[in-house]
Structure 1
């Protein structure tokens, strides 16, 4: 099994656990004389099996990510950490540019000449350019991670 397949199965299993949780909660109590639509104990057993499978998948994925070499990007784990930080950096730079440009305000500018002039404290154009570079780096790194996910076999 390839790493990408395990990641897809992890996502499916996570969704399944959430659906089972919801169904368990909906069937955990019922009115006397009525029969619940589903057996909550059976659903709980299914959830337990799904959670065991999820734990196994997560362990194997983490083990594989730690061992899979991506060349200059380091391991997949290193690349994932880099991507997470790039996304945070992009969010900070974009927020700074928006704030400096006044995009976070609902004002339409000065109404009277006596009102104070609001000036940006940061270079908006430079921040937007920096955000564009970061977005490109994120896309390129994400593509390298995805490629590796389809090339690497899942470890036991």
Structure 2
């Protein structure tokens, strides 16, 4: 048996989650029907199928998490550490970009300032924030590339 790569397991996990969600919607649509009518689908069979899909999803999540926790990446630390770093870099980038947009007055479309009104001035340096956002975006790309490369190099653990 050929070992499965982590990236393949991630794709299967995504498919299993989507399949479980589609089954949930079908179960909900078939759970009640009008007396004298035939339901569109057998809700009990769908429920059993959803249970199998969710069991498969749980197994994949466990194996993926186990693999991430023990896989050491090239920059040091585990794949789980790299995933945490990527998540926080995304949040940092979002915060800094939002701060720059707010300081620049973006999002205030239609706001017109008259000479007699008080002038709005930025409390933060927009150019510095944009520079920080660019640096964070670069770091995010580098970490994401590392994660993607590792996903295709590492075999999924049992």
Tell me if TM exceeds 0.5.
yes
Q: TM-score, normalised by structure 1?
A: 0.96
**How much does 1:107 deviate?**
4.6
CA offsets, 1:58-108, max 9 Å, x none?
A: 000000000111032411100000000000000000011011101032354
Partner of residue 58 from structure 1, selected from 56, 61, 66? 61
Cα offset, 1:109, TM superposition: 4.4
- Let me know the Cα RMSD of the aligned residues: 1.0
The match for 2:36 among 33, 37, 43 is 33
TM-score after normalising by structure 2: 0.95
Secondary structure of residue in 2 paired with 1:111 = coil
Give the aligned partner of residue 23 of structure 1: 26
Aligned partner of 2:125 in structure 1 is: 123
Equivalents in 2 of 1:111, 1:35: separation in Å? 68
Count of aligned pairs between the two proteins: 155
Offset at residue 116 of structure 1 (A)? 1.1
Gaps in structure 1 of 5+ consecutive residues: none
Question: Which residue, out of 110, 113, 116, partners 2:113?
Answer: 110
Aligned residue for 1:71, secondary structure, equals coil
Task: Report 1:1-156 matches (<5 A).
Answer: 1-112=4-115, 114-156=116-158
Which runs of no fewer than 5 residues in structure 2 stay unpaired?
none
Higher alpha-carbon deviation: 31-40 or 15-24: 31-40
Q: Distance in 2 between matches of 1:133 and 1:73?
A: 21
How far off is 1:118 after superposition? 1.0
Separation in 2 of the partners of 1:34 and 1:15? 29
